[in-house]
Amino acid sequence: MTLSGKVLSPEQLTAFQTEGYLIVKGLFEPEELADIKNIFEIMSQTKIPGHFEPEFDSVTEDPLKRYPRVMHPHRIHPTAMKYMLHRPVMNVLEDLYGEAALAAQSMYYYKPPGSRGQALHQDNFYLKVEPGNCIAAWTAIDAADEENGCLLVVPETSRNEIVCPDLADEKESFTTHYVKPPKDKKAIPAVMDEGDVLFFNGNIIHGSYRNKSKDRFRRAFICHYANASAARIGTFYRPLYAADGSEVMLEANPDGGPCGNEFEALYPH
């Protein structure tokens, strides 16, 4: 189905093109959010090699040892696949791309109280979608604000080139890469209600600070997509999926890998 701009308003499309990101409300029903939260709560009780590798008996003070991110859950759970291809999200993506979208990756971040954030970075450094770009759909499963480590975005950097990152501060970021914003730009918090979806371009600089709350998780279901006319993508993201669930195998782009390499890599690639 071609939607030709019928989902988003002209103002929303202009905002995305100008700022590089857009928050859209109402794409998930409450029961759908509860469904997502439930499957990942169940998943958090077991170890799934290559996807979710918690340390249940860890004595470390790092909460991410117990609650690391879940990588590619769509490959192991049909409900994750269903919501990666959630029709309202795919409709927005089709508007943003001006063509159909292909789903490339799913992730789930628990981000428990006290856990480190992820230093500022650019997603297409990892996905390497060519020609075109990746777009993320970042769904807030919990309300996200500055206290519990909401996402930070640097507006108008979606038109910036992809740059080689510097080394991040291991005390504050669980991933190794850091991209410094331009001198005239600064990161701003993307404060979101439960169920909001933040869409952002693969070049935009973004990340998050530590979860400073005492008892609030900042769970998020995050998926990355490519434009249907793309020819290449990083090997880590193949195969991709069309909206009907059919596999699409793009050419493998050299390099790439998971969105952010961890200081202690849990997911070899």
pLDDT of residue 61: 83
Closest C-alpha among 259, 222, 269, 264 to residue 84: 222
Q: Is the CB of residue 149 less than 8 Å from the CB of residue 211?
A: yes
Distance in angstroms (rounded) separating the CA atoms of residues 257 and 237: 8
Positive or negative CA dihedral for 258, 227, 162, 16?
negative
Region of poorest pLDDT, from 140-144, 206-210, 214-218, 264-268: 264-268
Predicted structure pTM score: 0.93
Domains of the chain, earliest start first:
10-55+63-253 (2.60.120.620)
Place 58 in a pLDDT band, splitting at 50, 70 and 90: low
Q: What is the mean pLDDT of the chain?
A: 93
Place 255 in a pLDDT band, splitting at 50, 70 and 90: confident
> Mind listing the pLDDT tens digit for each residue in 145-178?
999 999 999 999 999 999 999 999 999 999 999 9
pLDDT of residue 262: 65
pLDDT of residue 264: 63
> Mind listing the pLDDT tens digit for each residue in 181-198?
999 999 999 999 999 999
pLDDT of residue 256: 72
Closest C-alpha among 132, 124, 115 to residue 212: 115
